[in-house]
Structure 1
């Protein structure tokens, strides 16, 4: 589940990037833990298993906040996954790292009292800046960006509009 969903109550409106982030976690679990010689071929990442959604979200946010955490998750990964780990998975991690960094900036601006202990009121410029940062988050993980990261062509619009046989 996406960090933003885990850390928000109530959860925000659905975004495409939440689905991509969930796909990313499934792929990370597979690439990091796959062992052909085990009964359970793939296991969950231990740091991400918690009863508390808040704790899970915090752990995943730490994963996106530090490249050393990325490296740690993949210690002992099967050699067959190394190209993906050093390639498109890392590129996806970078995109979500950017999303999380923007989340931190938004939180610092939107909740200044929690950050500084002093009341502060948002100016119209602050509100616009926050809206722009939220848009930048969404722009980090678009269909087009994901297809580029994966090295796949985008589905042509005219092909999706044509009637099927």
Structure 2
């Protein structure tokens, strides 16, 4: 009985390893868009959506990657140009950095924007005054995520009191999501 149990355990572990390896990585070509080759519809939409923003890079996202968690090893080779469906644009705006995904017609599909030194909502200022009296705000960031019409906003506030530092994360209503303590200096 003991041998059967050990054999079963080894078989389960081997099956799990094979499954993990088969879903671990898949190579997909991603191409940087050269300056001057950007689609006009995407550039026009960028000007409207991120006024004053500067494009730092644009890449083609294959349809198979859109809407999925992924990491990419960039290649400058796409075999079938008709498969180009989406463009990822990384840029810098007046108040921070952004990353946006547009379809080939210039429709904004999703974006993430990190705004440095954002103006904190009254609800967050109130929570800071009540729960972190004596702490000094040393910096903050607002993170805005948009995906198919849904917007999520979160704030990270850096605080300092004497030699202690911490980051406090808030949702858009001012509710504390978590607090990360940093080392004392």
Scaled by the length of structure 1, the TM-score of the pair is: 0.21
Higher fraction of helix = 1
Higher fraction of strand = 2
Quick one: higher RCO (CA 8 Å, sep 6+), 1 or 2?
1
Which protein has the larger Cα radius of gyration, Structure 1 or Structure 2? 2
